[in-house]
């Protein structure tokens, strides 16, 4: 096994293509985030948060260009059911959607009449609902947002109804909710709490929640504690194994909570997504870089 892959459970051998080390495709950012893959166009969009830009990787020739500049200090991103880009914008304190004609509209920027803090990560469920987290990272200072006082006074996980557009707080007991992802059948929601980043005794773990057909959410407890630094972004593969970023790379857990292995990147990993025609490529945003990792498994775009 390569020095870049740490085996904890032998099942990890069947998940990573260890003959191929992680490839650093880009290292010209300040802090990269928000990888979102567009399969029809064979390209990846990812953000350079402090530099206030979205970058575009063309998967067909490996070129990287600026997709959009001065775009609200975007953080987490995803692709909705119609193939449109959803972005969490720190500066404008909203979740936005880029339409097919290039126009950008607001999906959510307020809850109960109060401005959101700074949406951080976003996912879309099969009914078209948008779920997102809202910690205060983008209002702490002017580096990647605008310094401000929280109007809400808390950090929640929200759901935007696909029909009415109503914004509902679904989880209200987290310190700093961060990355989030659903299981394949959408009965389990995983949410990172990265409160340790700004609170010495704060959480640095991943929690899981049961979600019923009426979108009611009930805590199932802590799924895993982060071994190095804090967890950030996560995605699940086709077998519901969790791949989650941390202070030294990407960790892989099976649905029962067992750690299978780790991909060591030597940098703080922020977020990831699966890509390629068969979803067996993982793109990871880590500190100032974008990495590509070859896998033996298939992931999910959202």
Average pLDDT over residues 276-301: 95
Average pLDDT over residues 262-273: 97
Average pLDDT over residues 36-40: 96
Position 124 scores a pLDDT of: 98
Residue 302 has pLDDT above 70, yes or no: no
Position 200 scores a pLDDT of: 87
- Per residue in 233-242, pLDDT (tens digit) is 999 999 999 9
Residue 153 has pLDDT above 60, yes or no: yes
Residue 2 has pLDDT above 80, yes or no: no
Cα–Cα distance for residue pair 133/116, rounded to 1 Å: 10
Residue 265 has pLDDT above 90, yes or no: yes
Query: Residue-wise over 258-278: b if at least 16 C-beta within 10 A, else e?
Result: ebbbbbbbebbbbbbbbbbee
Position 266 scores a pLDDT of: 94
Position 300 scores a pLDDT of: 81
DSSP 59-117: TTT--EEEEEESSS-EEEEEE-TTS-EEEEETTTTEEEEE-TTS-EEEEE-EETTEE-S
- Per residue in 167-219, pLDDT (tens digit) is 999 999 999 999 999 999 999 999 999 999 998 899 999 999 999 999 999 99
Position 1 scores a pLDDT of: 52
Task: Give SS3 for 36.
Answer: strand
- Per residue in 52-87, pLDDT (tens digit) is 999 999 999 999 999 999 999 999 999 999 999 999
Does the CA dihedral 198-201-202-205 come out positive or negative? positive
Average pLDDT over residues 142-156: 96
Q: What is the pTM of this model?
A: 0.97
Percent above pLDDT 70 for the chain: 99
């Amino acid at each position: 096994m390569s020095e870049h892959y740490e085996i904890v459970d032998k099942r990890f051998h069947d998940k990573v293509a260890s003959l191929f080390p992680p490839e650093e495709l880009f290292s010209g950012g300040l802090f990269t985030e928000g990888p979102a893959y567009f399969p029809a166009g064979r390209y990846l969009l990812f953000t350079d948060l402090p530099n206030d830009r979205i970058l575009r990787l063309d998967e067909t020739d490996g070129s990287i260009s600026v997709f959009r500049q001065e775009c609200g200090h975007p953080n987490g991103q995803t692709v909705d059911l119609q193939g449109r880009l959803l972005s969490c914008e720190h500066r404008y304190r909203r979740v936005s959607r880029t339409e097919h004609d290039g126009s950008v509209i607001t999906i959510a920027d307020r809850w109960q009449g109060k401005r959101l803090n700074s949406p951080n990560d976003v996912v879309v469920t099969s009914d078209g609902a948008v779920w997102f987290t809202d910690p205060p990272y983008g209002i702490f200072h002017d580096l990647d947002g605008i310094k401000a006082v929280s109007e809400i006074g808390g950090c929640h996980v929200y759901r935007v109804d696909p029909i009415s557009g109503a914004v509902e707080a679904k989880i209200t007991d987290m310190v700093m909710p961060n990355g989030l992802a659903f299981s394949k059948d959408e009965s389990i929601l995983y949410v990172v709490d990265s409160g340790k980043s700004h609170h010495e005794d704060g959480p640095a773990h991943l929690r899981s929640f049961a979600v019923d057909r009426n979108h009611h959410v009930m805590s199932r407890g802590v799924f895993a504690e982060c071994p190095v630094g804090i967890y950030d972004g996560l995605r699940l593969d086709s077998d519901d194994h969790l791949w989650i970023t941390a202070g030294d790379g990407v960790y892989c857990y099976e649905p029962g909570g067992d750690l299978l292995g780790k991909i060591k990147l030597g940098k703080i990993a922020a977020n990831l997504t699966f890509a390629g025609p068969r979803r067996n490529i993982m793109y990871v945003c880590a500190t100032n870089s974008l990495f590509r990792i070859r896998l033996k498994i298939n992931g999910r775009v959202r």
